[in-house]
Structure 1
Amino acid sequence: MKFYVASSFKNIDKVRYVSEQLKNKGYIHTYDWTKNKRASTFKELKQIGQKEKNAVIESDFIVILLPAGKSSHIELGIALGLNKKVILYSPNDQRKDFAKSSTFYHLSEVLKFTGTLDELVNFLTVKEKD
């Protein structure tokens, strides 16, 4: 199974943790954006954007770790448009905070998960075996 994890730079350690745990269980990471520095030119933005788009397309499922950044929401939209499995993770159920929520968080095809990162990894590995 191939996966992609989207989030914001402030969650970089959490993204790396989830990705490493999934890779240790035999899952294939389509792109590790956490290795990038923040883009400082439009050319870099374009290159990163293409890699992230391709990673979503290649994935069997994507995980969105909240709080998420601008690009994460675009990746969420791409995944939904391609009928990919989407798992929305929030340690504190941020999606229920109206001021921070997005309309797309509430779609029935978006699986929601609240808990620890280890519980999330367990959920993902059990869910994807179904």
Structure 2
Amino acid sequence: MLNWRCSKKGIKMAMKVYLIGSLRNPEVPKLANQIRELGFEVFDDWYAAGPEADDKWRDYEKGRGHSFKEALKGYAAKHVFQFDRKHLDECDIAVLQMPAGKSGHLELGVHLGKGKRGYILVDDPERWDVMYLFATGVFDDFNELKAELKKLKKEAK
């Protein structure tokens, strides 16, 4: 059974949803707001880096003569990773909004591997994948996801 989160002061707080998606997907903030309207805390601040964040990091590191492996050891990579990881670790629920890339799928996998609930919102995928069965649920429209989130909220009371 899900529980409401408690702050350090013992104050009951809303369950936290980590919204996973693509930096290039303009629908991410819209979905985040829809989930907030249901009374959940939503972490989507990673989106603020902008659609070219990964490309700019790559170009910067290549300009310094670094390989991908070397770049992963740099301060920028470690900082961004720790920022996202902290919030992923804190969340109760994860929602992967498609389309998303490798990073998003890794984040969902880590979350699910901790025994937490993780959902995928995908509308008529270009490629079908049976491994989506690892997810707690797969939905093809927001109303289905909304019904599931409302159910979880009710169970947590």
Q: Normalized against structure 2, the TM-score is what?
A: 0.67
Q: How many pairs were matched up?
A: 121
Q: Where do 5+ consecutive residues of structure 2 fail to align?
A: 1-14, 62-70
- Secondary structure of the corresponding residue to residue 64 of structure 1: strand
CA distance in 2, matches of 1:17, 1:120: 16
Query: For the pair shown, which has the larger CA radius of gyration, 1 or 2?
Result: 2
**2:95 corresponds to which letter in structure 1?**
V
Q: Which piece of structure 1 moves more, 75-84 or 35-44? A: 35-44
What do the CA deviations read for 1:60-106 (whole angstroms, capped 9, x no partner)? 100001121121011011101111100111022x28x34xx362x12
Q: Which residue of 2 aligns with 1:111?
A: 137
**2:138 corresponds to which letter in structure 1?**
K
Q: Where do 5+ consecutive residues of structure 1 fail to align?
A: none
* Identical-residue share of aligned pairs (%): 26
CA distance in 1, matches of 2:130, 2:105: 9
Aligned residues: CA RMSD: 2.2
- Secondary structure of the corresponding residue to residue 73 of structure 1: helix
- Structure 1: 4+ residue segments shifted above 3 A: none
Check whether the contact 2:18–2:88 (CA below 8 A) recurs between aligned residues: yes
- Secondary structure of the corresponding residue to residue 9 of structure 1: coil
**2:108 corresponds to which letter in structure 1?**
L
Q: Normalized against structure 1, the TM-score is what?
A: 0.79
Q: Which residue of 2 aligns with 1:78?
A: 110
